[in-house]
Structure 1
Amino acid sequence: MFNVLGDVNWIAVPAAFIAVLLAGLWFAFLFSKSYNISLGREPSAKPVSSPLFIAGPPLASLVITLTSAFLMAVLKIDSLANALVFGLAVGVGYLVANTVTIAINPNFPSPLKYSLISGGYNVIASVLGSTILVAI
């Protein structure tokens, strides 16, 4: 199974990663007020900027993109239709489910709202990244 690293489309990986990052910025801009409310903050609250806050999400997105590229090579996903199905399966089945699991605790005042916002981004990012991985 690990001999598929040569089958990974290494040219598409950075493109998919950049697209996922841009989608994250767009999503953060579009849903910043709702996101803050879901966390019990004032709608106009600004996040505390720290190295972890700045580097953490891009690094996690890179790991997700690399993992998707690897799994797509293992599963021999090379068509747009199969990439869409894969992106939806990973987005809903893993990323959204994990987001809901994390949000359902006493520290999240609106776990379902948070899950819809963050989960929505995760599905979009997964589908976008997966389609780019086969399109290039």
Structure 2
Amino acid sequence: MFDVLGDLNWVGILIGFIAFTLLGGVWFAVLFPRAYNRSLGRDPQAKPEGSPLFFAGPALTCLVITLTSAIMMAALEIDTPGNALLFGFIVGVGYLTANTVNIAINPNFPRPLLYAAISGGYNLIGSLIVSVILLAF
């Protein structure tokens, strides 16, 4: 097998984590803030409250996802761009987006499919980006 932490490319993990986190900021604050607010039943112009959890929570989850993807890619010996994209797609759709849909289809989300499309799309694209970055570094 491999030494779980020693064989990982920490530069790739750092860059993938930063890219995934920045994508979230752009995705939810620039590209889809109105639609995201609508999916949650909020006024489309609403601004989120800037608590420490609001900023640190998503970044921490991006780090966990990036680190987990790095471990899985190393264990699976993914070493080509095509396989990295396939891995990112499988993780993005099969785990991240599917889990997002599952979370959204409870009675607390007034527009669950809109929420799932916005958040699931972010997770899919983020997973693809992370997988390519992990391979490249």
1:129 partner amino acid: V
Q: Could you tell me the TM-score, scaled by structure 1's length?
A: 0.96
Q: Which sections of structure 1, spanning at least 5 residues, go unmatched? A: none
Q: How does 1:76-115 map to 2 (within 5 A)?
A: 76-115=77-116
**Equivalent residue for 1:37?**
38
Counterpart-to-counterpart distance in 2, 1:2 and 1:111: 41
1:68 partner amino acid: S
Q: Secondary structure of 2:43's partner? A: coil
Identity of aligned residues (%): 62
Q: Could you tell me the TM-score, scaled by structure 2's length?
A: 0.95
Superposed CA deviations along residues 48-90 of structure 1, whole A, max 9, x for unmatched, are: 1111111100001000000000000000011111100000000
Q: Once superposed, which parts of structure 1, at least 4 consecutive aligned residues long, lie more than 3 Å away?
A: none
Q: How does 1:1-136 map to 2 (within 5 A)?
A: 1=1, 3-28=3-28, 29-136=30-137
Counterpart-to-counterpart distance in 2, 1:129 and 1:47: 26
RMSD, aligned α-carbons = 1.1
Counterpart-to-counterpart distance in 2, 1:13 and 1:67: 10
2:103 partner amino acid: I
Between Structure 1 and Structure 2, how many residues are aligned? 136
2:55 partner amino acid: I
